[in-house]
Structure 1
């Protein structure tokens, strides 16, 4: 054990420097290592010839050079290219320049617990987040779904309230693990599903996020269409020859799609913690546009509203009841991805309650306000044009039928504000989440920023104009999200609230040590209970999913599918809790009855020294939360250990 301590001390010296540029005062140092460490610090502190001109700065950034004193020079051009492309981790667990693929997957800068310096979101930031998130075209479309199904205005609004109250509850219960332990969704999924099977869970979220990013980009492109039409005339679609071989999009519309897609690219550069400024800006601009649009529409309708059903079919009895259910579920289906990755944002919470009560109150309130605006605009537009418009942008486009300067200027300004709203929503809700998830899949070459750009590139292949061709197709796409994501969320929540009762050991989330808690006793790092509950949670909804795409199935199966999110979440939640009762998982609270919820083990965790603690855990097998815990070295750390001994 003495030699292990010597190696651990050398290991920490070689791989860590405190923020002030000096190594920690460890108990065991050799003279040679101290000299080497001081040389390293002095070489980093003083730059011999700093770049002066812009060209010199660009050349310095582009130059393939060693990132620290211990790196060996590249041997060939292939290695230079690899070094240029790989992500350099600052919170490294290795004395090498860059860890191997497995080690970088286990622990990297983007997935590390968020230290206090980056936890800058208080309750006001979460309020701004949901204010800015609610003011977007997609919210208006969801609110109009009930009116497309034959519900009147007040029935639709009740559905909105019920749906978004349920959303707020789901968001809050999924946020707690990120709020208290400062970890992102890819890490929280490791706890329930296992270190390695979590890759499949994260991949599901990445695919859904890319699809949703594409859909939101297409909605944003419609604001670009309106802006261009307000400037150059409403006949742009005919003046620009249509060469697209589909009835769902024209060449003009595709051009606008590419313009909005390109406009989002600069915003992908900024890190997540700086997004609070975007939320603040958006929450100031977009409400004026929304209320201005409502007032303008009511003025054009002379204050007359169509308050009854806006369809030729007036549902009654069970049909009305199930349409009511579908309208409620549209809100939940719309939020399926954000519910799952709530920890991605709650991990930046400044206090224990920053992301809890603020989201619980502001989320249903703001979405209900925006939805009633959408309902009133749709009702007023029906009295003017006799059409039950699903999207507010369609109503705004009709205002250009009369080419007056006031109409053109008003449409341009409102469309511009809606475009900003779409951009902010897409960046905050999709690209950042997808980027975070991709860092869990291939972190050696992908960080959050690169993941966002990869998401943008993939979105081009989604063809969202086919999904958005009608409200029924859009609702079907939303339901497909819920089928797969609801059961994932059910397992994660059951594991945290019922099985572990808030007890999480962070060191075990970032290791593949054979006997660590979340490897579940196998080299495959998979919790079979979670996998089985996840699959079985999908099964009841799957026949209805097939029915929604045209396969003939019984009506009762479709009705189960109408309740997709509740069904998937509840079944997976109950099954996983049952499996763990009969086959307990590692890391459950000791000395506590399975059904005893009077004791709660969730705690606010400080992670300022997490990197050092993880090094100690990997080399010595010492967990700061359990001093008696020892184990053999993880497979990815053995090589680092040997390298350190040689140095």
Structure 2
């Protein structure tokens, strides 16, 4: 459906509902996206980090299972509108935040995606750097002691080269992303399968690996660590939970996106977690300490061919998740902000350029810094998800007036294009979820920031929409009341 009389300032070709003939993504396409997104270096580091903080392998598997089930539910629910109305995230969110107000949460989500783009690009570049060290003897000494904020010239060149590979995939658009994910995701199993074999061999079998005890012996000791770990895992995908409509809008049917995300989550995540846990715990058995950085594991392989295949596959995995999770969203978000001048591709190029201005190698220095970043992300984006859930399922009851999403004078205009209720709910959710970062006695709220943010924003938004409904909704309720009285 093509909206009539829509405002040019709210639409361009990339923001309009997808045409029926272009809605051809099937369950396998969605499953392959998750296969590509999950199997990446930062996710490995996060799962490995759970071993590093003292959890047992079985406890980590339980964390991943719980987190993946919650993720599946959140993604399927938020992806419903995309599959039903074929609209992207920045258009969908106009129903709750207003046609102009939607730019603010969309840009927040885009900013986080750009940060993650830099992290994923650097993570992939570290693997590429190892490959270059193995094929060029002088690569490691290139540039001498010169460095840029702690990153020496070989690392910087690897980063820029890998960044360029991401931009190359983006250049060919959404259809190429779908095709790339189909074969890129499954290939990663080969490398991680080899690493699992290696870990089992050096540890003397699976028995010693999974027999390792947790340092958290009592339920009280484990409970908050467990919940915080689940929150950290969800924090990785807090961004994709919001913009999953950018992908489900291409779904052939609602059933295809729900099935595809189930195949991709939690099954794929559990397999990946098993590989990550086995390798990290295996290194702990063999070397006395866990190696949570998968790139460090590669240094223990002496065969150049094995290193080359592993690096290439890891690079493909990083490109896969980077383009899907961290470029698609800011590309649409920037196009939504300036639809007259910025298309999907131009938005992607701008986002990729901005990622160069980040310092992702600082974020990857320690596993604890990753968890701190994830907690902040969850606290900031959780409330946005809470508002979206509340608006679509409780207030709108899964019914949207698509044409009004593209109008400056429609039902989603609210007051001058902004719905203050959504912003108040978001602010309250973010405040409560992040206050523990500054008030030690409330740290437990920060440890579960995503859940707290979703809950408080959800309840506050519904309450405000009921207590002070927008003018049009109030008029509709009055009309319904008069009709009921006349009957």
What TM-score do the two structures reach when normalised by structure 2? 0.92
Deviation at 1:131, TM superposition (A): 1.7
8 A contact 2:31–2:261 mirrored in 1: yes
Task: Output the CA distance in 2 between the equivalents of 1:394 and 1:341.
Answer: 32
Within the alignment, does 1:330 sit opposite 2:330 as a pair?
no
Q: What is the match of residue 46 of structure 1?
A: none
Residue of structure 2 aligned with 1:535, choices 409, 420, 427: 427
Deviation at 1:209, TM superposition (A): 1.0
Within the alignment, does 1:307 sit opposite 2:199 as a pair?
no
Residue of structure 2 aligned with 1:201, choices 82, 96, 105: 105
Q: What is the match of residue 140 of structure 1?
A: 44
Q: Deviations over 1:558-603 (max 9, x none)?
A: 11111100000011001111112222333599679x9xxxxxxxxx
Task: Output the CA distance in 2 between the equivalents of 1:588 and 1:112.
Answer: 29
Secondary structure at 1:579 match in 2:
helix
Within the alignment, does 1:378 sit opposite 2:264 as a pair?
no
Within the alignment, does 1:387 sit opposite 2:289 as a pair?
yes
Within the alignment, does 1:564 sit opposite 2:449 as a pair?
yes
Secondary structure at 1:368 match in 2:
helix
8 A contact 1:499–1:588 mirrored in 2: no
Write the mapping of 1:224-239 to structure 2, written as runs, cut at 5 A: 224-233=128-137, 236-238=139-141
Q: What is the match of residue 241 of structure 1?
A: 144
8 A contact 1:273–1:348 mirrored in 2: no
Q: Deviations over 1:481-526 (max 9, x none)?
A: 111111011011101101110111011000002xx20011x3x211
Q: What is the match of residue 484 of structure 2?
A: none
Write the mapping of 1:227-626 to structure 2, written as runs, cut at 5 A: 227-233=131-137, 236-238=139-141, 240-244=143-147, 246-247=149-150, 249-303=151-205, 305-307=208-210, 316=218, 318-400=220-302, 407-513=303-409, 516-520=410-414, 522=415, 524-546=416-438, 553-555=439-441, 557-585=442-470, 586=472
Secondary structure at 2:225 match in 1:
helix
Q: Deviations over 1:310-337 (max 9, x none)?
A: 89x6665534322222221121100100
Task: Output the CA distance in 1 between the equivalents of 2:411 and 2:225.
Answer: 45
8 A contact 1:139–1:367 mirrored in 2: no
Q: Deviations over 1:278-307 (max 9, x none)?
A: 111113322122212211332344436433
Task: Output the CA distance in 1 between the equivalents of 2:315 and 2:407.
Answer: 43
**Cα root mean square deviation, aligned:** 2.4
Write the mapping of 1:58-97 to structure 2, written as runs, cut at 5 A: none
Task: Output the CA distance in 1 between the equivalents of 2:71 and 2:133.
Answer: 37
Secondary structure at 1:353 match in 2:
helix
Q: What is the match of residue 485 of structure 2?
A: none
Using a 3 Å threshold, how does the CA distance of structure 1 residues 118 and 545 change in structure 2: closer, same or farther?
farther
Deviation at 1:230, TM superposition (A): 2.4
Using a 3 Å threshold, how does the CA distance of structure 1 residues 291 and 588 change in structure 2: closer, same or farther?
farther
Deviation at 1:128, TM superposition (A): 1.5
8 A contact 2:421–2:461 mirrored in 1: yes
Q: What is the match of residue 16 of structure 2?
A: 112
Aligned length: 477
Larger radius of gyration: 1
Q: Deviations over 1:530-556 (max 9, x none)?
A: 11111111111222234xxxxxx323x
Structure 2 unaligned segments of length 5 or more: list them.
Answer: 481-487
Deviation at 1:126, TM superposition (A): 1.0
Higher helix share: 2
Q: Deviations over 1:139-196 (max 9, x none)?
A: 2122212212210100111001001111111111100010101111001110001111
Residue of structure 1 aligned with 2:71, choices 150, 167, 171: 167
Deviation at 1:369, TM superposition (A): 0.7
Task: Output the CA distance in 2 between the equivalents of 1:292 and 1:236.
Answer: 27
8 A contact 1:183–1:347 mirrored in 2: yes
Name the structure, 1 or 2, with higher relative contact order (CA <8 Å, separation 6+). Answer: 2
8 A contact 2:386–2:453 mirrored in 1: yes
Secondary structure at 1:518 match in 2:
coil
Residue of structure 2 aligned with 1:121, choices 15, 18, 25: 25
8 A contact 1:151–1:309 mirrored in 2: no
Q: Deviations over 1:373-405 (max 9, x none)?
A: 0000111122232221112111112324xxxxx
Task: Output the CA distance in 2 between the equivalents of 1:107 and 1:220.
Answer: 35
